[in-house]
Amino acid sequence: MKSLVIRVAILFLFSVSLTACNTFRGMGEDVSSLGHAISHVAS
């Protein structure tokens, strides 16, 4: 389970780095969605 969460986080960070958020607000939304995804996978 921990491995899956790490893979999801790495995939998310990789995709974020490719798309390069234009604003801090956009980056905040991306980080928030990552938090939701991790908590969903963990529960």
pLDDT of residue 21: 54
For tokens 């956009």, name the residue. 26
User: pLDDT (tens digit, 9 = 90+) per residue, 1-43?
Assistant: 788 888 888 888 887 776 665 566 677 787 888 888 888 887 7
Q: How far apart are CA 31 and CA 11, in angstroms?
A: 13
pLDDT of residue 28: 77
pLDDT of residue 27: 72
In the chain, what are the domain boundaries?
2-42
Q: Output the DSSP codes for the chain.
A: -HHHHHHHHHHHHHHHHHH--SSHHHHHHHHHHHHHHHHHHH-
pTM of the predicted structure, to 2 decimals: 0.43
pLDDT of residue 24: 63
Q: 27, 21 in Cβ contact below 8 A?
A: yes
